[in-house]
């Protein structure tokens, strides 16, 4: 069968392109041998959710749309970290910078867009970046650890999302915008003003009607100069002023280019066998930057490639429904009144609600909603249909329904068109959800999520999904609490209880006995089950490496260029000349591009090739710092009484003891400790998962802190007198957390969920503490540094040999 399959190559691994591939696989699963090139070293992820990653609302793992297992299971040859540099449209071949050459019968260009960088003097300085991908998020997060003043150029959606994330990172943020009001492409002046006031209350500063002139500073940005002679200080400058289609590859290959890659209604370029879609494509003179049109293009292209009937893509009427820094905003159509139209407005500044409808010839042509966007989908449907609303204008404005617009939410949902997008993050239409319920047998929101991905990302569409479930399933609809993922309706506590009750010992056994809907599991449940089994049965359970993420499998952090970061453990941040010399020599030997001190007082060797990892660890002969895992990362210390005149206790000694006590300890999420030698708290112990602060005659023990994007100060657990008591309480707390927190749940979130008093109560009895300490010691006694095993076992070392990407992911 494989010999009869045509070869389909896609350049680009983003949302629009992979969406088209998903549809194609449903329509014609065996028609093509598929190869995908992605320039970023990541599988397909939800770029819309990057602002949530930056603001701390989601981890990178949570915004992955299709993990590597998905590509493998569909026999897709994936080359991540490869940029296609040349195409030969006559020979029908593409060539990557990684040396891969692939022939094709059909070629899809889904190269997306590039951020537009203002050509200002000084734009090449250090600290000047865009906000477009995962690496930009990481730069912002790293910068926020050392610098405080951030400036964002651009008062549109992207700029405000970047600004909100930087606020969460603890930076002072100024937003510079050339217009007199923000988000002018989505909001009118009244709604924009309300949004600006809300964001100012959150801490943002705005510099409006400002023309940027130059970026000042020597090597790194220091300030931004404006045309009027004023300036604003900046340690980090983020440009979020728009995007431009990425057309360079197509242009070099003789494909017709205007602003974007010119395509017809079937997404075909002027070269036979070559298609384009997404942000790189231009259809009828328009290059779309919103997700809904890109998904519509993907559905048309999939049908075209599958040989299924399609009327083609006729363009999109766009709408924007989003949440800007916690504020709901919706706009659609012509929200600025054209000549001959009239507008209706409702404004309530007490509750923060604004509504505006624009009507022309008795038809709704535009709308803006601020604060309350519940009517957005219905209004957008009416705009697209060109529906006559004569006599119903005020009812629409005030949310009062009549006739076809009954006050019943069900009637509103029933009146929506099937192609109405319900889940903007994942491009799921009303019709797709209806089909999942009526034909697919979905009877709960969780099943719909697993089947269609609706509500799987930001969750903002969940009320609409619930309404559609009631509409189409009726009495068959079941209100099922959502499980840890779409594969099960069981939550964390139920799963752990059943594993203990039935003594289940493997991931497969858990999935089978507890009736997982997806027998292979997913990227959310497999790692969590792997952890729960290891936590419950430390002496019997064999860790499943395939259930771990890439970083944990290779025991190093993968970087944007596909290389790795190695962090050896340096106890308490204390090293020696001999150790430093050894690290330096090995860094030179393996040609490490960068050696950096981390925020946790460790040395990070960045840019290591995968095949060099085992040999490097062997020669380092140092324990892993586990900078990649859900385990103890670091124990940060100040110098304490050893050197400091203010120190009351030996912070260094206490920190090293704790680090040696708990190194290699697996946990539901990463764990950071710190020990400060006096209440001046130089080691920042009061924003750590477990913090120790020395006082006269004893130690304060603090829990549940977080110094990341969701900053949380610790709660005081207790005060003890001796170092042995510190270890006893630390052991008891960490084990109690291990046994009761959900997978990927940091101590800060867990302590807030269960309450600090419940933790204190669980640990107040010394017998209970000692029992917890014994259990954690049992686990620790069974662990060894992963590199010892890899270095000593030749079979394991084979996993680190360089392999062509086409073989890795095939």
Binding site annotation covers 425?
Answer: no
Residues with Cβ within 8 Å of residue 766, at least 6 apart in sequence: none
Helix (H) / strand (E) containing 213:
strand 212-216
For residue 128, the cross-strand partners are: 237
Which two tokens mark 474? Answer: 């009726």
Please tell me the distance from the alpha carbon of residue 68 to that of residue 197, in angstroms, as a whole number. Answer: 43
Question: Exposed, middle or buried: residue 546 (CB in 10 Å: 0-12, 13-18, 19+)?
Answer: exposed
6: phi > 0 → left, psi -120 to 50 → alpha, else beta; which? beta
DSSP string, 222-288: -EEEETTS-EEE-SEEEE-S-EEE--HHHHHTT--BSSSEEE-TT-B-SSTTEEE-GGGEEETTB--
Which two tokens mark 364? Answer: 């709704």
Strands 236-239, 261-263: pairing kind: unpaired
Question: Exposed, middle or buried: residue 642 (CB in 10 Å: 0-12, 13-18, 19+)?
Answer: middle
Binding site annotation covers 487?
Answer: no
Tokens 């197509």: give the residue.
250
For residue 640, the cross-strand partners are: none
Beta carbons of 260 and 245 less than 8 angstroms apart: yes
DSSP string, 591-615: T-SEEEE-TTS-EEEEEE-GGGHHH
3-state percent breakdown (helix, strand, coil) of the chain, nearest 5: 35, 25, 40
Binding site annotation covers 451?
Answer: no
Beta carbons of 565 and 559 less than 8 angstroms apart: yes
Beta carbons of 207 and 223 less than 8 angstroms apart: no
For residue 96, the cross-strand partners are: 84
Query: Nearest 5 degrees, angle CA 392-CA 393-CA 398?
Result: 100
Please tell me the distance from the alpha carbon of residue 132 to that of residue 428, in angstroms, as a whole number. Answer: 23
Q: Which of 390, 360, 364, 359 is nearest to 379 (CA)?
A: 364
Helix (H) / strand (E) containing 391:
none
Total Cβ atoms within 10 A of residue 621: 12
Question: Exposed, middle or buried: residue 792 (CB in 10 Å: 0-12, 13-18, 19+)?
Answer: exposed
Residues with Cβ within 8 Å of residue 151, at least 6 apart in sequence: 173, 174, 175, 176, 224, 232, 233, 234, 236, 237, 238
Please tell me the distance from the alpha carbon of residue 180 to that of residue 494, in angstroms, as a whole number. Answer: 54
Torsion sign over Cα 525, 528, 533, 539: positive
Q: How many residues does the chain have?
A: 810
Beta carbons of 450 and 487 less than 8 angstroms apart: yes
What's the N-to-C CA distance of the chain in angstroms?
17
Q: Which of 709, 787, 782, 781 is nearest to 749 (CA)?
A: 709
Binding site annotation covers 423?
Answer: no
Report the chain's C-alpha Rg in angstroms. Answer: 28
Which two tokens mark 481? Answer: 């609490």
Tokens 């005081």: give the residue.
716
Query: Nearest 5 degrees, angle CA 547-CA 552-CA 557?
Result: 140
Residues with Cβ within 8 Å of residue 417, at least 6 apart in sequence: 381, 384, 385, 430
Helix axes 462-473, 430-438, angle to 10 degrees: 40
DSSP 707: -
Which two tokens mark 192? Answer: 């924009």
DSSP 457: S
> Residue ranges for the binding site for siroheme?
682
> Residue ranges for the binding site?
638, 644, 678, 682
> Residue ranges for the binding site for [4Fe-4S] cluster?
638, 644, 678, 682
């Amino acid at each position: 069968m494989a010999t009869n399959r045509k070869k389909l190559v896609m350049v680009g691994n983003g949302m629009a392109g992979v969406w088209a591939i998903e549809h194609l696989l449903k329509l014609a699963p065996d028609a093509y041998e598929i190869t995908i090139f992605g320039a970023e070293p990541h599988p397909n992820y939800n770029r819309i959710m990057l602002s949530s990653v930056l603001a701390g609302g989601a981890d990178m793992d949570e915004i992955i749309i299709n993990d590597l297992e998905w590509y493998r299971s569909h026999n897709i040859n994936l080359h991540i970290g490869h940029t296609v540099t040349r195409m030969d449209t006559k020979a029908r071949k593409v060539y990557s910078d990684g040396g891969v050459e692939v022939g094709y019968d059909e070629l899809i260009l889904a190269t997306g867009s590039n951020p537009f960088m203002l050509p200002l003097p000084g734009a090449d300085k250090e600290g000047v970046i865009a906000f477009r991908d995962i690496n930009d998020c990481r730069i912002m997060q790293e910068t926020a650890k050392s610098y405080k003043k951030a400036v964002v150029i651009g008062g549109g959606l992207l700029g405000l999302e970047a600004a909100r994330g930087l606020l969460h990172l603890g930076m002072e943020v100024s937003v510079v915008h050339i217009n007199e009001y923000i988000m002018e492409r989505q909001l009118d002046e009244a709604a924009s003003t309300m949004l600006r006031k809300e964001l100012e209350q959150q801490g943002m500063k705005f510099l409006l009607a400002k023309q940027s002139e130059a970026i000042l500073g020597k090597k790194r940005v220091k300030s931004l100069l404006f045309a009027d002679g004023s300036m604003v200080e900046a340690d980090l400058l983020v440009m979020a002023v728009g995007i431009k289609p990425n057309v360079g590859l197509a242009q070099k290959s003789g494909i017709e280019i205007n602003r974007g890659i010119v395509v017809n209604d079937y997404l075909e370029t002027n070269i036979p066998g070559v298609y384009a879609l997404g942000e790189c494509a231009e259809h009828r003179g328009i290059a779309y930057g919103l997700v809904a049109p890109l998904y519509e293009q993907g559905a048309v292209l999939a049908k075209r490639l599958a040989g299924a009937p399609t009327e083609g893509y006729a363009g999109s009427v766009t709408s924007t429904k989003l949440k800007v820094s916690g504020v709901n905003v919706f706009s659609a159509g012509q929200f600025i009144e054209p000549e001959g139209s009239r507008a209706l407005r409702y404004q309530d500044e007490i509750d923060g609600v604004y509504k505006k409808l624009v009507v022309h010839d008795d038809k709704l042509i535009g709308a803006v909603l601020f604060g309350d966007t519940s009517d957005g989908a219905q209004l957008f449907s009416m705009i697209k249909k060109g529906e006559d609303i004569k006599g119903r204008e005020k009812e629409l404005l005030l949310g009062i329904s009549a006739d076809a617009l009954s006050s019943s939410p069900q009637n509103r949902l029933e009146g929506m068109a099937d192609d109405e997008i319900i889940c903007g993050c994942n491009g799921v239409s009303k019709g797709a959800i209806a089909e999942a319920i009526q034909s697919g047998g979905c009877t709960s929101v969780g099943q719909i999520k697993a089947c269609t991905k609706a509500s799987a990302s930001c969750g903002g569409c969940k009320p609409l999904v619930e309404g559609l479930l009631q509409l189409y399933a009726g009495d068959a609809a079941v209100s099922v609490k959502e499980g840890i993922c779409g594969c099960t309706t069981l939550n964390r506590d139920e799963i752990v209880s059943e594993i203990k009750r039935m003594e289940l010992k493997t991931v497969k056994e858990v999935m089978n006995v507890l009736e997982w809907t997806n027998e292979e599991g997913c990227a959310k449940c497999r790692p969590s089950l792997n952890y729960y089994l290891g936590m419950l049965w430390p002496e019997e359970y064999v860790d499943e490496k395939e259930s771990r993420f890439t970083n944990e499998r290779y025991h190093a952090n993968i970087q944007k260029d596909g290389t790795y970061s190695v962090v050896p453990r340096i106890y308490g941040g204390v090293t020696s000349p001999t150790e430093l010399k050894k690290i330096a020599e090995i860094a030179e030997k393996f040609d490490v591009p960068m050696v950096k001190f981390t925020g946790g007082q460790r040395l990070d060797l960045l840019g290591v090739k995968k095949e060099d990892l085992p040999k490097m660890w062997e020669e380092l002969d140092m324990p892993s710092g586990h900078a990649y895992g859900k385990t103890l990362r670091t124990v940060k210390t100040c110098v304490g009484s050893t050197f400091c005149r203010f120190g009351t206790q030996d912070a260094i000694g206490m920190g090293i003891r704790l680090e040696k006590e708990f190194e290699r300890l697996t946990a539901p999420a990463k764990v950071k400790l710190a020990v400060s030698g006096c209440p001046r708290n130089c080691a920042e112990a009061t924003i750590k998962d477990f913090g120790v602060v020395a006082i006269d005659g004893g130690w304060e023990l603090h829990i549940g802190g977080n110094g990341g994007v969701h900053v949380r100060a610790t709660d005081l657990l207790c005060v003890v007198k001796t170092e042995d008591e510190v270890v006893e309480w630390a052991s008891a707390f960490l084990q109690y957390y291990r046994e009761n927190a959900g997978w990927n749940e940091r101590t800060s979130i867990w302590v807030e969920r269960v309450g600090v008093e419940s933790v204190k109560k669980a640990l107040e009895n010394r017998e209970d503490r000692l029992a917890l300490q014994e259990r954690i010691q049992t686990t620790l006694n069974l662990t060894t540094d992963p590199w010892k095993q890899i270095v000593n076992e030749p079979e394991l070392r084979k996993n680190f040999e360089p392999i062509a990407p086409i073989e890795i992911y095939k």
